[in-house]
Amino acid sequence: MSTLLEIVNPSYLLFPALVGTMIMGLVCPLVGSYLVLRRTVFLGLTLPEIAATGVSFTFWLQQTGVLPQLGQSERGIGMVGSLVFTLLGMGVLGYLEQRGKGLAEGRLAAAYAFAGGLTILFMVFNPAGQIEVLNLLKGEVIALSQGELRLLAAVFGLVLLAMLVFRREFLLTSFDRDLAFLLKGRQVIWDVLLYLLAGLIIAFGVIMAGPLLIFGFLVLPALAARPLVSRMSSFLMLSSVLGLVMAFWGFYSSVRLDLPLGPTDVTLGCCLIFLAYGIRRLPMKAGVATMILICAVTSLSSCSTQVADTPVPDAKAKKNTSISLAKVKNSTGLPLLLPSTNPLRSLGEMAGKISSDYRQSVMDLLRDSLRQELEQKGYRVTLPEDTDTRFPPLAADANGAARVAREGKLSGLVFVSEIRRWEGESQRFVRVVADFKIVRIDDGVVIWERHVQRAISTPSAPYLGQAYMDAVKIVAHDLFA
Amino acid sequence: MISLGKDVDETQTARGGSSTGQFLPLVSLQNISLGYDSVPVVQGISLAIYPSSLIGLAGPNGSGKTTLFRAILGLLPILGGSLSRSCPLSNFGYVPQSAALDPHFPLSASEVVEMGAYGRVRSYQFLPLKEKERVREVLHQIGLPHLAERSFFSLSGGQKQRMLIARALMVNPKIMILDEPLSGVDEESRKSITDLLLKLTREKGLAVFFSSHDLEMVQRVADSIVRVDKGQIWLEERKARLQP
């Protein structure tokens, strides 16, 4: 389990993702504060949806050959589509607002529904498959590369600078347009600039973090900060601080509890709003004390020392060096078959002439790796199905595994493995949750056990199948290291 | 043409005092028509406003008082006629109805007053010390320095109105335009606001043009009373004023 100190270490695997999330958490609320104050929160929901339409549209064009394959990364192409559609969407919405016909909420709601519908339709049209595009639209910030992090820092840094420099103009235009006109002339430039900045962070944020997280960062910190302050400067500052808190604790909770980042952050943001309204009811000193107490307790509990994982013991340390290696149990509900790299076989599979059973699965690979590692540790490994081909995979429940092993007339030790989660985030990361145990068959006593819950980096894998293979090796190696 | 405040200006010049406008009106309207979507609300307005005048604009709700103010401030295009100003718009101190401002904004009273200085401060600058000093000065002038850090929208109607007057004073105005400054205001605040307006006119030489639907109250305060009703505008009364 990752501790707080581990996460903030720059050498931590997911450190770039943490930094990226925090950059978004810092900057988005500054722009979102004005959306909240101008009562245009729905714009913060509609623009990310329009950006998502741009992503799916660009991929559709590329797959149909209208756009050439430029050799850029998938995210880069998606980013272009996201940016173009966001700016176009803002232009159309701005034009309709200038004309002043109909309700603003109605226009935004219609645009949201239209964009949402188009996004799904473009995904359906895409011959490359919906899942790939859907993964991009989810915008998993966990897969943020160093180059993307630099781009994110540059764009969001620019927005932050503009928000600080033009803070008075944005405030005046938002609060009292008449006074803004008298003092600064036509204020349309400040409206355009504010929405342009919002469009920039939405267009880049959607492809990197997904529409949900960007919308959450835009509005939730501002809504949480509003009841706690009565000055504009404090409001902007607190919104940013709460955005950082939301980003950091959301990321930490996501890693620690193995939850998806976007929904975790957004849930935390909503909790902050409830907390803010609760604290506002308290007297000033009690409110501050409560906040400090919550922060201190959370930090202390998160900084707890990590218990070192013990590797599989050497065979020499055990009297019984014979071990039965049970089949790896797959509890994910997915087949976890490795994609075929042979195009003729794939065609045969599609034509129904070759069964996909010939393909190796993650479970097969993992078992092979475990066998090699156990043998290197000096164990004499036997496979239960060598004595009885009907022998099933064993669950990580020690007593159950021991009972089945006894019924199968096995003796000594049995190594059981159970995969609970195995998901590839593009080909850069594989999220793994698995349990491993060595159980004494006679009495069901657990000799050794390990719970693996982590995102495994597979940066050099050119495709998902290779990422799975790399992840298998890393998991097996870590158990014995 | 209704000329308001010219007599005072002429008197001061004859005494050897400074004539701020040198007989030039701050605002001059020649036979203008005002309205929305090409539909006139008020027509045939000819009006000249001179320095040191305290003018009340009286008329029932919806008669076009705010429309006239918005046209003078350049916020509403005129449908016909001509309008000229002898000073830039940044010299116009505008006090809107406080109810027109969004109470959702987290703003302290001093932050609202500071806004009056925004026209003079460059974007990248922090608010200069002299502007902060000026904020304190105008807050003293309106008699509410102790409320500077209070939330603007938690103030009473009268206090909010005085803070908006302070904001208008921050622009160093030559003319102040106040939209219904005395509506929804308690008697004590009403008195302090009218005293302040009189002081600004008499001592600072500002032209003050304020509106109200309460004719009786306008008659009590203003030197000149302009009536607007049923699309027409006319001079109701001009009081003789003792010069300081």
Please tell me the CATH code under which domain A4-302 is placed.
1.10.3470.10
Class of domain A315-480: alpha beta
Percentages of chain A per state (helix, strand, coil), in multiples of 5: 65, 10, 25
Q: Which residues of A touch B116 (CB under 8 A)?
A: 179, 183
User: What is the mean pLDDT of the segment spanning A291-300?
Assistant: 71
What pTM did the predictor assign?
Answer: 0.75
User: What is the mean pLDDT of the segment spanning A168-192?
Assistant: 88
User: What is the mean pLDDT of the segment spanning A73-85?
Assistant: 81
pLDDT of the residue at A25 = 95
Between A300 and A281, the higher pLDDT residue? A281
Q: Specify if B114 maps to a domain.
A: yes
Q: Which domain holds residue B20?
A: 1-87+206-237
How many Cβ pairs within 8 Å bridge chains A and B?
75
Contact A169 B123 (CB under 8 A): yes
Pair B80, B42 in one domain: yes
Rank A137-146, A156-165, A419-428, B223-232 by mean pLDDT and report only the highest. A156-165
**Other CB atoms closer than 10 Å to residue B126's CB: what's the count?**
8
Residues on A contacting B at a C-beta cutoff of 8 Å:
37, 39, 165-166, 168-169, 171-172, 174-176, 178-179, 181-184, 226, 229-235
Tell me which chain B residue has its CA closest to the CA of residue A235: B106
Of B92, B104, B121, the CB nearest to A182: B92
Scanning B31-88, the segments in alpha helix (DSSP H) are 65-72
Low-confidence ranges of chain B (pLDDT < 70): 1-23, 237-244
pLDDT category, A426, cuts 50, 70, 90? low
- The domain total for chain B is 2
Joined together, the tokens standing for residue A190 give: 């400040």
Whether the per-residue pLDDT at A204 is higher than 70: the answer is yes
Residues on B contacting A at a C-beta cutoff of 8 Å:
70, 73-75, 89-90, 92, 94, 96, 101-102, 104-108, 111, 115-116, 118-119, 121, 123-124, 150-151, 154, 167, 171
Contact A182 B121 (CB under 8 A): no
Residue A425 contacts residue A135 (beta carbons within 8 Å): yes
Task: Give the whole-angstrom CA distance, residue B85 versus residue B101.
Answer: 27
Tell me which chain A residue has its CA closest to the CA of residue B171: A183
Joined together, the tokens standing for residue A14 give: 């997911």
Tell me which chain B residue has its CA closest to the CA of residue A178: B75
What is the greatest pairwise CA distance in chain A?
92
Q: Which residues of B touch A183 (CB under 8 A)?
A: 90, 116, 118-119, 171
Task: Give the whole-angstrom CA distance, residue B227 versus residue B229.
Answer: 7
Tell me which chain A residue has its CA closest to the CA of residue B125: A165
DSSP code at position A439:
E
Pair B128, B151 in one domain: yes
Contact A230 B118 (CB under 8 A): no
Task: Give the whole-angstrom CA distance, residue B177 versus residue A173.
Answer: 20
On average, the pLDDT of chain A sits at: 82
Contact A179 B94 (CB under 8 A): yes
User: What is the mean pLDDT of the segment spanning A300-310?
Assistant: 60
pLDDT category, A269, cuts 50, 70, 90? very high
Whether the per-residue pLDDT at A64 is higher than 60: the answer is yes
Pair B45, B102 in one domain: no
Of A333-337, A354-358, B196-200, minimum mean pLDDT range: A354-358
Decide: residue B37, CB within 10 A, 0-12 exposed, 13-18 middle, 19+ buried: exposed
Pair B65, B104 in one domain: no
Distance from CA of A231 to the nearest CA of B (A): 5
Pair B48, B77 in one domain: yes
Decide: residue A104, CB within 10 A, 0-12 exposed, 13-18 middle, 19+ buried: middle
Q: Specify if B47 maps to a domain.
A: yes
Task: Give the whole-angstrom CA distance, residue A175 versus residue B112.
Answer: 10
Whether the per-residue pLDDT at A292 is higher than 80: the answer is no
User: Secondary structure of A22-86 in the HEC alphabet?
Assistant: HHHHHHHHHHHHHHHHCCCHHHHHHHHHHHHHHHHHHHHHHHCCCCCCCCCCHHHHHHHHHHHHH
pLDDT category, A96, cuts 50, 70, 90? confident
β strands within A138-290, DSSP E: none
pLDDT of the residue at A344 = 58
Contact B154 A230 (CB under 8 A): yes
Q: Which residues of B touch A168 (CB under 8 A)?
A: 115, 118, 121, 123
Q: What is the ipTM of this complex?
A: 0.85
Contact A232 B111 (CB under 8 A): yes
Strand partners for B94: B177
Joined together, the tokens standing for residue A82 give: 């996201």
User: What is the mean pLDDT of the segment spanning A129-134?
Assistant: 62
Whether the per-residue pLDDT at A142 is higher than 80: the answer is no
Q: Specify if B71 maps to a domain.
A: yes
Q: Which tens digits make up the pLDDT trace of A431-453?
A: 888 999 998 888 888 888 888 88
pLDDT of the residue at A130 = 63
**Other CB atoms closer than 10 Å to residue A42's CB: what's the count?**
17
CATH 1.10.3470.10 maps onto chain A at 4-302
Whether the per-residue pLDDT at A351 is higher than 90: the answer is no
Between A211 and B19, the higher pLDDT residue? A211
Q: Which residues of A touch B128 (CB under 8 A)?
A: none
CATH 3.40.50 maps onto chain A at 315-480
Q: What is the CATH number of the domain that holds B212?
A: 3.40.50.300
pLDDT of the residue at A352 = 62
Of A39, A168, A235, the CB nearest to B118: A168
Q: Which residues of B touch A226 (CB under 8 A)?
A: 106
Contacts of residue B204, Cβ cutoff 8 Å, sequence gap at least 6: none
Of B94, B101, B106, the CB nearest to A235: B106
Q: Which residues of A touch B105 (CB under 8 A)?
A: 37, 174-175, 232
Percentages of chain B per state (helix, strand, coil), in multiples of 5: 35, 25, 35
User: Of B153, B173, B193, which marks where a domain is finished?
Assistant: B173
Task: Give the whole-angstrom CA distance, residue B234 versus residue B223.
Answer: 15
